[in-house]
A and B are shown apart, each in its own frame.
Chain A
């Protein structure tokens, strides 16, 4: 994985952007965090959050012009959260800890602050907190500026004095009745000479009358550089309400001006860049997306007494209206992303770290291998971040470095190898044709799950499609792609392509969405269609339907989530069948994986279970799918589900919607039998019966265990064959059972069995990958 690429993806995730209230607030009060603490009744924590951004909390909590509330997402569903009133509740209901004296080391630089309004006081506080020697020059007899013009009933003089007393604690020297001007009072020139830097916050006075030798703009205000607050004199910085017309007085903007000018002064005095990395200072627009879909609209909680503000109970109720803005759009729809308790920004970092680690444990291997690669995250993400790309990239990298856990995909890849072995592999022109205009490629899983339907569908195609419809059986290579086995995928596709070209490069008609996706992505020159587009335009066979439910909810396949025409074809077929279609909430491009995709169910059965349970819980109506794996995964958990072909060619079962799909062993057998059946019935070829396999007696309980342990009947047969032919077996005298083991390739299988007539009863089976070094110490 490329570091820059990973970094880029990580940055793409917007979840860690602040909520709109915080981004809009010029000093970035973490209102979301503050409100969360109020909900918990923890006013001390809430106040601490507020105070961290605001040095004068009593003042701001009473007179802030709260631009945050204009940006509040709650407006979309009710009214904005009364953030300022909640700030006041924090200031009122928290016991304020006594401010400790700062132990910041003193700096030898002196800064003069001219004007003791909110901007000057904030600049003074921030710079003093950094250790600078600060002197304030205020023309009036008291500091506070316009704050002192506030309505006493809203902001008491005592509260102002309490807030401003902090300046003394941080060691600021205050000179009141000290007008600085070149027009009487202390000459500006002497301040320029006596200090290393100056902050000028003169408030709403006539700047011209002060004659400060600074460049003015056409409005008669001091010319101030945006971002840096620098003036025409490089040691003088300026901000505050004099910049604006009196009607636009904004206490919080004044405070922000003082703070940001102080940042510039600090940088100036340290010889650092005044402009670097300041993009997100002051008020800005956040990239955080928050959906308000489905949220109950709520009005603001009223105050019993407006002059006193919220009671604690009212404040708690108001705080509970906060949406706690998050994005998490992908996490909300994906059990896999939710399972690991975080979100893609963190996941991308973890996956990248997992990939680049040289020594130590690869903690995120399982997470990387669990993703269904279904791309639903990308579909719902406001910035289209796709975890599937990231996980697939990581898997490919693991395989390349030899770091892919051997057990992760071994079983699925052996299943694929079986499908691409002589047992199933087949390509034939239609009987009576020497060329094929089309071929039918049913896919390995439909063939495993519903071989009878495949045979019928092929018959239908031969009858309805002209120019010869050949047949190709095999596996398209999707498991190799999902496993990150790039070379194996290419080899598999190469072998298919060679065979397909020998068939004359015919149009491919597939009945599997994964095959469809693979051919579209890896065999660019092929014309690929689904069986569904054929069935949608041709007359359907005479319905063989038995008494089946007529209402179904359609489950769309995840691998064709963006192929609207396929989804339309399915609905068209269902319409022709007279089925009443119910749409699931998350349908078409928003559909979810059944847990087979990306080999999730092999890598992490716990998450796979959550994924499939969530999907089947969406509706009580029977589902209809057009992917055999989806149907089998649903029915395995007791969800009634049909494959669409079950509606066209009714299976023999009395209640096919309740049919459990075949186990892993039977899937192999069904594929092999399908090939034999078609060769005999369609091509009238003589096919020798398979060598009679050992007769095994496996009860239901044992079959369930074998499925869970991913042990096939053919593995058990190999063990017994080996034991019986070599005599290498153990007898348990307590039970009389025989115990044997055998390692065909990389897994050692153990079988406990007993003879049963000419066959064998299986009492237990298990496996391990660890190798036994036997017979070494005779």
Chain B
């Protein structure tokens, strides 16, 4: 999952709290003791991130299942 980029057109997303447009940035995700760096849309100010549906139900799910069977 490392270095995974979302190839779909990035939606124009704004962090409602900070009123700042979200931009791609490095985020760490972890599961069952394993950590992965990943590029996601995030608020440059508060750091809140956006996980797209395709990622959550696709690659992320696959990695979760693989880690669960490790």
Instruction: Please give me the residue from chain A that is nearest to B15 by CB atom.
Output: A730
Q: Cβ of A731 and Cβ of B27 under 8 Å apart? A: no
Instruction: Say yes or no: A362-B69 contact (C-beta < 8 A), given A728-B48, A768-B51, A777-B26.
Output: yes
Could you say which residues of chain B place their CB within 8 Å of the CB of A730? 13-16, 22, 48, 50
Q: How far is the CA of A339 from the CA of B26 in the complex (A)?
A: 42
Chain A hits for B32, CB < 8 A: 406
Is B69 within 8 A of A770, CB to CB? no
By the criterion CB–CB under 8 Å, are A771 and B29 in contact?
A: yes
In the complex, identify which listed stretch (A241-249, A299-307, A420-428, A734-742) lies at the interface while the others stay far away. A734-742
| Most chain B CB inside 10 Å of its own CB: which residue of A726, A768, A771 | A768
- Could you tell me the distance in whole angstroms from the C-beta of B8 to the nearest C-beta in chain A? 12
Select A770's contact among B12, B30, B45, B70, beta carbons within 8 Å: B30
**Chain B, residue nearest A748 (CB):** B51
Chain B, residues 41-70, CB within 8 Å of chain A (1/0): the string is: 010011111110100110011011110111
Instruction: Take A361-B70, A728-B17 as given contacts and tell me if A769 and B64 are in contact as well, using a CB distance cutoff of 8 Å.
Output: yes
CB distance from A41 to the nearest CB of B (A): 43
Would A774 and B27 count as touching, CB distance under 8 A? yes
The answer on a CB contact under 8 Å between B69 and A729 is: no
**Is A773 in contact with B11, judged by CB distance below 8 angstroms?**
no
CB of A773 within 8 A of CB of B29, answer yes
Pair B17/A727 contact, Cβ less than 8 Å: yes
User: What mask results when residues 385 to 427 of chain A are scored 1 for a CB within 8 Å of chain B, else 0?
Assistant: 0000000000000000000011110000000000000000000
Set of chain A residues within 8 Å of B16, measured between Cβ atoms: 727-731, 738
Per-residue A-contact encoding for B4-45, CB less than 8 Å = 1, 0 else = 000000011111110000100111111110010000001001
What residue of chain B has the Cβ atom nearest to residue A737's Cβ?
B11
A406 touches B13 (CB 8 A): no
Q: Which of B11, B30, B56, B66 is most buried by chain A, counting CB atoms within 10 A of its CB?
A: B56
Specify the chain B residue showing the minimal Cβ separation from A364: B69
Residues of A within 8 A of B63 (CB): 770
What's the Cα separation between A732 and B51 when bound, in Å?
13
Give per-residue flags for A352-391: 1 if the beta carbon is below 8 A from chain B beta carbons, else 0. Answer: 0000000011110110000000000000000000000000
Q: Is A500 close to B, CB under 8 A?
A: no
CA distance A407 to B63 in the complex (A): 13
When chains A and B are docked, how far (Å) is the Cα of A728 from the Cα of B45? 13
| Inter-chain contacts of B42 with A (CB < 8 A) | 774
Contacting residues, chain A, for B45 (C-beta < 8 A): 778
A-B contact count (CB 8 A): 103
Which residues on the B side are within 8 Å of A764 (C-beta)?
Answer: 53
CB-CB < 8 A to B64: which residues of A? Answer: 407, 768-770
A328 CA to B55 CA in the complex, in Å?
42
Q: Are B53 and A773 in contact (CB under 8 A)?
A: no
Is A733's CB under 8 angstroms from B12's CB? yes
Given contacts A728-B17, A730-B16, A739-B50, contact A772 B27 (CB under 8 A): yes
Q: Are A777 and B13 in contact (CB under 8 A)?
A: no
Contact A766 B48 (CB under 8 A): no
Cα distance A733–B14 in the bound complex, in angstroms: 7
For the complex, is A767 an interface residue (Cβ under 8 Å from B)?
yes
Could you tell me which residues of chain A, from 741 to 764, have a CB within 8 Å of some CB in chain B?
741, 748, 750, 764
B12, A766: Cβ atoms under 8 Å?
Answer: no
Which of A361, A363, A766, A776 gathers the greatest number of chain B CB atoms within 10 Å?
A766
Interface residues of A in 309-352 (CB under 8 A from B): none
- Interface residue A775 (Cβ < 8 Å from any Cβ of B): yes
> Which of A733, A739, A771, A775 has a CB less than 8 Å from the CB of B31?
A771
**How far does the alpha carbon of A730 sit from the alpha carbon of B50 in the complex, in Å?**
8
Beta-carbon contact of B11 and A732 below 8 Å = yes
Distance A407 CA – B26 CA, assembled complex (angstroms): 27
Q: Are B51 and A750 in contact (CB under 8 A)?
A: yes
Given A734-B11, A767-B56, verify A405-B68 contact (CB < 8 Å): yes
With A405-B65, A405-B69, A728-B48 known as contacts, the answer to whether A770 contacts B13 (CB < 8 A) is no
Decide: A766 near B13, CB < 8 A? Known: A365-B68, A365-B69: no
Which residues between 715 and 731 of chain A lie within 8 Å of chain B, taking CB atoms?
726-731
User: B6 → chain A, closest Cβ, in Å?
Assistant: 14
- Closest A residue to B28 using CB positions: A773
| Min CB gap A523→B, angstroms | 33
Known contacts A363-B69, A405-B65, A776-B28: A750-B14 contact under CB 8 Å: no
Give chain B residues whose Cβ lies under 8 Å from the Cβ of A739: 13, 50
Contact of B51 among A365, A727, A772, A776 (CB under 8 A): A772
| Min distance, Cβ A718 to any Cβ of chain B, angstroms | 17
Q: Considering residues B27, B32, B69, which has the most beta carbons from chain A within 10 angstroms of its beta carbon?
A: B69
Cβ of A75 to closest chain B Cβ, rounded Å:
48
- CB neighbours (8 Å) of B11 from chain A are 732-734
Alpha-carbon separation in the docked complex, A365 to B67 (Å): 12
* A769 and B31 contact, Cβ closer than 8 Å, known pairs A361-B69, A405-B68: yes
A764 to B51, CA, bound (A): 13
User: Inside 8 A of B70's CB, which chain A residues have their CB?
Assistant: 360-362
State A407–B12 Cα separation when bound (angstroms): 32
B21 to chain A, nearest CB (A): 9
Distance from B18 Cβ to chain A, minimum over Cβ atoms (Å): 10
B contact residues around A365 at 8 Å (CB): 68-69
How far is B63's CA from A768's CA once the two chains are assembled, in angstroms?
A: 11
Distance in angstroms from B36 CB to nearest chain A CB is 8
Contact B47 A770 (CB under 8 A): no
Chain B residues lying within 8 Å of A729, measured Cβ to Cβ, are: 16-17
A709 proximity list for chain B (CB < 8 A):
57
In the assembled complex, 12 residue pairs joining A and B whose CB atoms fall closer than 8 Å, in A order, are A366-B69, A407-B64, A726-B17, A730-B22, A738-B16, A766-B53, A768-B64, A770-B30, A770-B64, A771-B31, A773-B30, A777-B27
Extra pairs beyond A732-B13, A734-B11 (10, CB < 8 Å): A361-B70, A728-B17, A730-B16, A730-B50, A734-B12, A750-B51, A768-B56, A772-B49, A773-B27, A773-B29
Interface pairs A-B: 4 shortest CB-CB: A775-B47, A405-B68, A733-B12, A768-B56
Binding site for A on B (CB under 8 A): 11-17, 22, 25-32, 35, 42, 45-51, 53, 56-57, 60-61, 63-66, 68-70
